[in-house]
Amino acid sequence: MNGICEGRVVVVTGAGRGLGRAHALAFAAEGARVVVNDLGVGLDGTPDADSPAARVVAEIRAAGGEAVAHGADIATTPGAASLVRTALDTYGRLDTLVNNAGFLRDRMLVNLDEEEWDAVVRVHLTGHFLPLKHAAAHWRAETKAGRPPAARIVNTSSGAGLLGAVGQGNYSAAKAGVVALTLVAAAELARYGVQVNAVAPAARTRMTERTFADRMAPPETGFDTMAPENVSPLVVWLGSTACTGVTGRVFEAEGGRITVMNGWHRGPTTTNPTRWTPTEAGETTRALLAKAPQPAPVYGQ
């Protein structure tokens, strides 16, 4: 298969279904050899009876591509280390890491218990950090050995991480953390030839089928705007050498729309040459807020 990822080795986590599956198939269609990671669990993190990663590998191979399954828990150090090792042992290299794995345990904050908080933060945030850490350690070693890579990391945030979402305090916090992790990783890893970006996708998957219940039917044009396959072209491009020079950025992707997200930036400001009193600080802050645009509403507000 020829394409913009010809010869590259790509790892995709959470690739057994939904967005991850779409990404894995799209990378393979562009010539990549793919490590398909999926723990094979339900939406709440409990084990499923089948092996979705193996099915995706079979799809890729049936289309003439190369792929291997990986079923370990990448939110653990042994699992993340074995993920990178699988790519190296199978294909002799690693070029791109797509962090995508996740699940939901939605609750309003007053009903959200500690286990539900920890589980979602662990899978989404730790599940990004550990594969990133082990992949970056490999690329650093390659650079020090005189083999600087053209490496890419694509992280998965969410509109909930950018704006917040009612009933998803744990998920929103984890996905906001993914954005911050992306910015830090882009700054720290640039010296090793690693570009790091994030996407905030909107697509119909197991995790979002209720959210997008009113958008289930494809429009008359035949273009299903909520299909996960619509997000994958941007992810594939960010995972290729074609995106050279693009790093530390966050993109929204939905249907045929791609948006560059600007993130936090300094708005109206003023400085006092001495310490404020609480009353002065409050009056000044209200004046600054009057000059600032209103924040976008939280999803579900």
Active site residue 133: no
Measured CA angle at 150 (ends 147, 156), to 5 deg: 135
- What is the per-residue pLDDT for 40? 80
Active site residue 175: yes
- What is the per-residue pLDDT for 144? 98
* Spans of all domains in the chain: 9-261
Supply 124's token pair: 């989404």
- What is the per-residue pLDDT for 84? 98
8 Å CB contact between 95 and 56: no
- What is the per-residue pLDDT for 2? 77
Distance, CA of 278 to CA of 136 (rounded, Å):
46
Distance, CA of 71 to CA of 51 (rounded, Å):
8
Q: What is the value of pTM for the model shown?
A: 0.91
CATH number of this structure's domain 9-261, picked from the four choices 2.40.30.10, 3.20.20.70, 3.60.20.10, 3.40.50.720: 3.40.50.720
- Sheet with strand 66-70: strands edge to edge: 66-70, 33-37, 9-12, 96-98, 151-156, 194-202, 250-254, 257-261
CB atoms within 10 A of CB 290: 8
8 Å CB contact between 170 and 117: yes
Query: Which residue is catalytic, options 172, 175, 192, 240?
Result: 175
Distance, CA of 134 to CA of 198 (rounded, Å):
18
Q: Which of the 8 DSSP states describes residue 210?
A: T
CB atoms within 10 A of CB 124: 29
- What is the per-residue pLDDT for 181? 98
Query: Which residue is catalytic, options 82, 157, 158, 240?
Result: 158
Query: Which residue is catalytic, options 171, 172, 192, 240?
Result: 171
Kindly report, residue by residue over 62-92, the tens digit of the pLDDT.
999 999 999 999 999 999 999 999 999 999 9
